[in-house]
Amino acid sequence: MEKDVAIVGVGMSKFGELWDKSLRDITLEAGMYAIFDAEVRGKDIDGIVIGNMSAGRFTGQEHLGTLAVDMGGLGNIPAYSVEAACASGGAAVRQAYMAIKSGEHDVMLVLGSEKMSDVNQSEAMNTVSVASDWEWEGMFGATFPALYAFMARRHMMEYGTTEEQLSLVTVKNHKNAQWNPWAQFQRPVPLEVVMNSGLVADPIRVLHSSPVTDGAAGLIMCSAERAKEFTDTPVWIVASEQASDTLALHDRRDITTMDAVVKSTRSALREAGLKIGDIDVFELHDSFTIGEIILTEDIGLIEKGKGGKLVEEGMTEIDGKYPVNPSGGLKARGHPVGATGVAQIVELVLQLRGDAEKRQVDGAEKALAVNIGGTGGTSIVHILGR
């Protein structure tokens, strides 16, 4: 018999260039905050899942599931480590969801973690690039800024999307992040500064791009039967879906559409018995600002080609019709690749609890997160409800 799945605790480390902390430090910090938030005892936790993209290349450490158990002093419980590029955090949440729903586990600690600043900028870029099709893209120098530049330029050509619209996503997300105590960049950025920042891969500029980030995020997830032991206000995972697309961008049906996102969102909405208009707040994967624009279209907030207009008209602001990335998103909260998918869920839990303070979306009852790997080769969608 399938079980309902609740989130009863959340925690995060600070995001940023954390020179004085190790991968071990930030992972432990996020996990302990989640445990304290749920007021769960260590002996109640019967499994751990950790999402991480590439700790071996960034820090030299693998075998992270066991590391997490060891750090937490949690004994001999099972531990699982999952990788799905930038969707590794979302994959960890989904693995725990399925384990609890099936009855295999009752109370699980879910972590996402990445320490990216222990290598130089070039090494970090090369490490992230292995999430593309290395043989056909990365080996020829097609970095992620270049691949997203292809997507952006095609979107501009077909639909008239402008560089100003790409920049307005940055302005919005930095404005939101100033109210997020865990965010890497807690300050607004004027439009003209964004539009005059250096080109990385035309038309993608430095301030259209997510930064190199260290950080970790954690959740306590459990079955409905156990949730009442820890909280009177659980947040429920009402849908969890995953889909895949081609790894290489050049093999896609349409490089301005992430078909995996379209498929996983439709499946999640169907599983939850909801329409996209029923969702009150969104966390969408904006590793580059064109990504947020494309995702607003692919999840069905607006027809294809008009995502730029959505941000231009203020519809994605915290007080807009479709609040997107009140956390500041990957652009301003930061993007420690293995942690991002868990951090999205942390933000949405806070929103649904009414605990997001100055970035709170009024009356939020339903929330949706899209966490993607690469240029959309993996898409993981979660819908949460109060």
| DSSP track, 279-333 | --EEEE--SBHHHHHHHHHHTTSS-TT-HHHHHHTTTTSTTSSS-B-TT-HHHHT
The catalytic residue among 63, 86, 105, 222 is 86
Closest CA relative to residue 31, chosen from 88, 70, 82: 70
The answer to whether residue 105 is catalytic is no
Distance CA 82, CA 278 (A): 31
Distance CA 265, CA 271 (A): 10
Q: Which tokens sit at 316?
A: 């994605």
Quote the CA–CA distance of 256 and 247 in Å, as a whole number: 15
Instruction: Give 238-261 as a DSSP string.
Output: EEEEEEE--SSGGGSS-TTS-HHH
Amino acid type, 348: L
Contact 68, 52 (CB under 8 A): no
**Residue at token pair 């080109």:** 199
The enclosing H or E element of 267 equals: helix 259-272
- The residue from 105, 208, 285, 335 that is catalytic is 335
Q: What is residue 36's three-state secondary structure?
A: helix
CB atoms within 10 A of CB 71: 15
Cα–Cα distance, 263 to 261 (Å, whole number): 5
- Judge whether 222 counts as a catalytic residue: no
* CA distance between the termini of the chain: 23
284 closest CA partner among 302, 305, 306, 261:
261
In order of 90, 124, 226, the CA distances from 53 in angstroms are 11, 12, 31
- What is the biggest distance separating any 2 CA atoms in the chain, rounded to whole angstroms? 57
Active-site amino acid positions: 86, 335
